[in-house]
Structure 1
């Protein structure tokens, strides 16, 4: 962690972030409650509760067929498949056109849930942007995210930080795969790659995806059951290829938070990239205990350059072990640094690794260049809380 803090404080390393649904779910609303956007389970409940009066029979039958994986993403994939293949035939009381309309309604309700704004008082994404803009960089920061919301765009635009999401143009911004592939914009432009689509993406009627500038949610792609033809078209093919190209670059570090690595099409590219490029590394900061992070854990065991940091344990260089508190701190500076990633949970209990949650993760990054005042730990086994920053180096 000390080495990571040094690396992210400078601007020389090629660094990427991989943000999953847990990132948006881990942030609080303006009133202080959680989550800002629910994770998949919460999103499923909210969307299906609204659609129950209209599509209750279809929802019940499809979830029965798909169990145990019957979340909203898998359900929408099945609805779209039925819309394309059954034509005038009926399944569970709907024909192909009926399922197409059903899919539109699901996307509409997803759009309503994820169409939120960041609190004015600050957020984890604002802290990440502070870190991005706080150093002159040799290489651009590349953010890969499976989230559909516009929160990262909002955080960047609030401080007028330039970014490129693959689209260019004014009236109907179109996707430019050449610029995505070449990656030849200035390093101060953050790259923002929306791997599963985004609010505001739509079709222009020519089988092309454009960015509308609106909040519609009709062109989203979901994990697990992605159609081959969807992922081979722009922008999805180009964005996934960008992830692979990023990991193929020498001396690259990809840091993930809020991502379970259960999305097979993304994990496969990470696996391929690390296997073919030993100088690339992934640090996977996981929210749960190691036993509940099966997908990340498996990658960590197979790939020595894929490190997993969970609440109770870690997998480093292919070896798994639980966290242990040393009897003596390695140096006098270690206590303050450790208190930024190692703390007692809110409900009490043993100290645990905290950077699997987006808010401490973002604070760790934004404070990496700061000179901070820390309360001296009472004992080496009880790290103190971090006080507000006193000055900036």
Structure 2
């Protein structure tokens, strides 16, 4: 039976991150804010997609006021919208499905009397309201300066590299920016200017930025990006703009799309992975975005020297029990089915879950090649040795034990600890700007 050695992979990752000439990037996705420790009763800092969907739906359904002669309130329009989405077969549409559906109807609403019972004006109001509620929930700050975001920023700040670190994210929040600015990490996000920073397409495509600046690419937009005059995209720091913020979870063909950040930033991801020996580390990403998956897979096919490592939270599989009468059955499900399928067919795409990994196309459990290893080898105590008592046929524990190993770098919080150990826990002190 084959196994993957977590100690060996930990050393490989450490060596990869220490090579100053290798292009290294991080991909921060929706699961990462869940790893931020919060005061009791305040977790999560930002909800997952399901939680965000519930928040937007609950708050919009409460908006009953009819203003400016509108035929329907936002709440009534949103109710009708959900009914129309269900007619397409999506019974549990998330917030990204909802926003994509609105924009799909908006594309054909210009010049039409109505689309599925909505006027162009009503669709615009719905888009503004949905984006506004998303931004409302995402206008948060990190609770302290010891979060995994800060540890990532510290690692970036304390390494000298010939190739700049590139951070890609599908998140709309400003958590990466907050941590980078607290630590003092210079970065470029595609915008230039002071009063009203605008998106500089040439600088993004040609990467015309100082080498010591890190790159931050927000592929799906941000709560502080806005479109001016239905054309130009700019970044604001006020978060009080009347125009809807640019949140792009869908992959529609936007008008003048080359002037929009989305295609330029997707292209930036593709270019990064086509660099010789590039390594991209994914955290908080569940491989549920088909367009991003295609971008990553096509780049990996074109460049066999590149490597993508998906650090996934939790176990690869999970079990559910079902009782019918006196009969109890147990069924195993794959938690990351799409990720498993892609990794098994692409040797330079690896996925590391707590209990299993797919490396070089081979799926196997974790088990160190030696039972004795020191703390320097097990960085941040990421490898967990779990001893459990064996149960008999009736489910009762016996005296016999079994040992299994787990590798927890799929937890963004522990990944932050891993990066912190690479630079030394007490190597430096950071002071807030202006102090």
TM-score normalized with structure 1 length = 0.86
Q: Which residue does 2:24 correspond to in 1? A: 15
1:89 aligned to which of 114, 121, 125: 114
1:268 aligned to which of 288, 294, 299: 294
Q: Which residue does 1:64 correspond to in 2? A: 86
Query: Is the aligned partner of 1:228 residue 2:253?
Result: yes
Q: Distance in 2 between matches of 1:157 and 1:32?
A: 28
Change (3 A) 1:300 1:341: same
The answer on whether the counterparts of 2:105 and 2:115 sit within 8 Å (CA) in structure 1 is no
Query: Is the aligned partner of 1:131 residue 2:155?
Result: yes
| Root-mean-square deviation over aligned CA pairs | 2.4
Task: Give, in angstroms, the shift of residue 222 of structure 1.
Answer: 3.7
The answer on whether the counterparts of 1:10 and 1:135 sit within 8 Å (CA) in structure 2 is no
Change (3 A) 1:365 1:132: same
Q: Which aligned pairs between 1:271-290 and structure 2 lie closer than 5 A?
A: 271-290=297-316
The answer on whether the counterparts of 2:132 and 2:245 sit within 8 Å (CA) in structure 1 is no
Task: Give, in angstroms, the shift of residue 174 of structure 1.
Answer: 1.2
Q: What secondary structure, in the 3-state scheme, does the structure 1 residue paired with 2:295 have? A: helix
**Larger CA Rg, structure 1 vs 2:** 2
Greater shift after overlay, 9-18 or 166-175? 9-18
Change (3 A) 1:133 1:341: farther
The answer on whether the counterparts of 1:162 and 1:190 sit within 8 Å (CA) in structure 2 is yes
Q: Distance in 2 between matches of 1:250 and 1:310?
A: 26
Query: Is the aligned partner of 1:114 residue 2:138?
Result: yes
Q: Which residue does 1:153 correspond to in 2? A: 177
Change (3 A) 1:21 1:37: same
Change (3 A) 1:101 1:189: same
Q: Which residue does 1:29 correspond to in 2? A: 38
Change (3 A) 1:364 1:333: closer
The answer on whether the counterparts of 1:312 and 1:322 sit within 8 Å (CA) in structure 2 is yes
Q: Distance in 1 between matches of 2:99 and 2:426?
A: 49
Q: Which residue does 1:379 correspond to in 2? A: none
| 1:166-192 CA-partner distances (Å, limit 9, x unpaired) | 000122211112111222322221100
Q: Distance in 2 between matches of 1:203 and 1:391?
A: 43
Query: Is the aligned partner of 1:246 residue 2:268?
Result: no
Q: Distance in 2 between matches of 1:4 and 1:327?
A: 19
Query: Is the aligned partner of 1:324 residue 2:367?
Result: yes
| 1:168-220 CA-partner distances (Å, limit 9, x unpaired) | 01222111121112223222211000000001111121511111223258243
Query: Is the aligned partner of 1:352 residue 2:406?
Result: yes
Return the structure number with greater strand share.
Answer: 2
Change (3 A) 1:343 1:365: farther
Q: What secondary structure, in the 3-state scheme, does the structure 1 residue paired with 2:163 have? A: coil
Q: Distance in 2 between matches of 1:129 and 1:109?
A: 29
Greater shift after overlay, 57-66 or 179-188? 57-66
Q: Distance in 2 between matches of 1:287 and 1:72?
A: 22
Task: Give, in angstroms, the shift of residue 390 of structure 1.
Answer: 6.4
Task: Give, in angstroms, the shift of residue 111 of structure 1.
Answer: 0.5
TM-score normalized with structure 2 length = 0.78
Query: Is the aligned partner of 1:342 residue 2:366?
Result: no
Task: Give, in angstroms, the shift of residue 106 of structure 1.
Answer: 0.7
Greater shift after overlay, 83-92 or 276-285? 83-92
* Unaligned runs of at least 5 residues, structure 2: 1-9, 63-74, 317-333, 388-402, 429-435
Pairs aligned (count): 368
Q: Distance in 1 between matches of 2:375 and 2:59?
A: 53
